[in-house]
Structure 1
Amino acid sequence: MFNGNLKKEAIAKLEAADKEYQATAADVTEKAVALYEKRKATAEQIIQACEQYINTLANSPKEFDKSVSEFKVEFTKFSQIIQQIKFEADKADKISGSMAGAGTAAGVGVAAFGPTAAMAIATTFGTASTGTAISALSGAVATNAALAWLGGGAVVAGGGGMAAGNFLLAMAGPVGWAIGGTTLVGSTLWARHKNEEIAQKANQETVNIKSKTTKFKADKEEIAKLLKLTQGHADGVNTRLNFLKQEATNNYLDFSHDHKIELATLINNIQALSQLLNKTLS
């Protein structure tokens, strides 16, 4: 067939690019999950440890109390995001079950990730509500709403819209591509085109996918940095708390100069963690 080899080569390149893309997306999702779990566990443990120490420390400085309170506020924000996603995902799961085989299920974009991955991606990249509960929608409207939700809300509301939603949804791997309606190879639409047109479209998609792969790789590095910073400040909090519990008195007024420095450093660690807890990728 005329230009048959051209089509085969283009599709082969597209498939290779797609394979690398999905592997990189899977890596990003794994990193996001690790960051989410570290944030959640660290925040819960540190809030509890700091409050316990405050209760044993007489005349604790206002800066210490203030920093712990601010950290609790940030953790509340973090928890609210998690609860929102759980709420939407639960409704999506119910509707997906009731609409099985009936086309695109409402909220399937959220359900595709699984609860942990959805929460990890949301807290890493940021999300916003569409204004209408995803579970209340159906069909293509539901898919669009899910994509927009995952992408940070509707464009008119200042969010990333469906384009960003598709970008995040791709992290679900092959499932994500199917939900997004962007199956790359073998679609009936492509079958209608001539070989040269198919090759051109495949090449265009290859360039697009490689561009997204590059972005994913940069995201993975940024997530790794956030994870390292979070771990470092968490370790700093734990180390200094343990030191003060063992070496300092229970009354701040009797603290030595070195102990006051350790407490000041502890406060800096807590403040840094507060800023990192809800930090999303740019």
Structure 2
Amino acid sequence: MLNRSLKLDAITALEKTHQRYESSAASVTKEAEKLMLTRKRCSEQVIVNVERYINQLANSPKQFDRSYDEFKAEYRAFDTLLEEIKFEAEKADFKAGGSAAAGVSAGVATAAFAPSAAMAIATTFGTASTGTAISALSGAAASNAALAWLGGGAVAAGGSGMAGGGALLAMANPVGLAVGVAALVGSGFFARSKNREIAEKCYTRRKEIEVLDAALQASLADIRELNDATQKHADGINSMLTWLQVNAPEDYLDFDKDAKDKLAALVNHLRSLTPLINQTVKR
């Protein structure tokens, strides 16, 4: 048939590009969850250790107290957001088998729709379509902002907004716009179109996916860099705390130079870690 090979080549190229995109999307979700867990460990362990040390240190310098207060406030906002997103995600039933995921075909990575993925995406990419940081939102508003991101952004900004987010939950991809091969095939387009027309349509879709995939790759690098920086400063805090707890007196007025240097290093790590707690990645 005329242009049959052109059609087959175009379909094959589209399928391969889509597979790469799905792999990138899964990697982004996985790394976002790692970042979320790193931040949770900081909240549940690092902040507890710092607080315990502050409580037993007499005459702690105001500089230390101020840095810790800022640190604690950021983690309080992070913890609150996690709880609210988890509640809204569970209520929306992101999990496979629930109403939001009804119609998902067998073999789809439905784990991507779990509340943990929604929480990770919201805290990693955290900007609502209005430009408001998700950390400044709450409850359903934060959840809706995450869904709007999943769907490709606000309609006013050229994205598909909440409608796109809902449609995405019924498809395979946890991040970005769902422009899968299945949607193209399922529309009946292949059955009623000419070979060249099919090839052109596949080419257009493939280019769209390539752009999205490039954006995902950039986000992936940014997420890993942010996670590494967060872990580095958390490790620094733990290291300084361990030294101080073992070697320093319980009254700051009795500190020698080494102890003061260690405490100063701890404060520097706190200052560096604090802005990373709720820092987001551009999509």
What is the TM-score with the length of structure 2 in the denominator?
0.79
Tell me: CA distance 1:213–1:163, structure 2 relative to 1, closer, same or farther (3 Å): farther
In the other structure, the counterpart of 1:35 is 35
For the aligned residue pairs, the C-alpha RMSD in angstroms reads 3.7
1:17-28 to structure 2, matched below 5 A, reads 17-28=17-28
Give the alignment partner of residue 172 of structure 2, picking from 175, 178, 181. 175
Tell me: CA distance 1:152–1:251, structure 2 relative to 1, closer, same or farther (3 Å): farther
Tell me: CA distance 1:164–1:88, structure 2 relative to 1, closer, same or farther (3 Å): closer
Letter in 1 for 2:41: A
1:1-282 to structure 2, matched below 5 A, reads 1-93=1-93, 99=99, 113-128=113-128, 147-148=147-148, 150=150, 154=154, 162=160, 175-176=172-173, 182-184=179-181, 185-191=184-190, 192-282=192-282
Tell me: CA distance 1:217–1:164, structure 2 relative to 1, closer, same or farther (3 Å): farther
Equivalenced residue count is 264
**For the residues of structure 1 that align with 2:220 and 2:186, how far apart are their CA atoms?**
31
More deviation in 118-127 or 272-281? Answer: 118-127
Tell me: CA distance 1:41–1:47, structure 2 relative to 1, closer, same or farther (3 Å): same
**For the residues of structure 2 that align with 1:207 and 1:94, how far apart are their CA atoms?**
29
Q: How far 1:162 moved relative to its partner?
A: 2.9
Tell me: CA distance 1:53–1:94, structure 2 relative to 1, closer, same or farther (3 Å): closer
Gaps of at least 5 residues in structure 1 are 105-109, 136-143
Identity value in percent: 44
Q: How far 1:40 moved relative to its partner?
A: 0.6
Equivalent residues of 1:92, 1:111 under 8 A apart = no
**For the residues of structure 1 that align with 2:95 and 2:171, how far apart are their CA atoms?**
21
Q: How far 1:187 moved relative to its partner?
A: 2.5
Q: How far 1:98 moved relative to its partner?
A: 7.7
Which SS does the other structure have where 1:175 is aligned? coil
Letter in 1 for 2:13: K
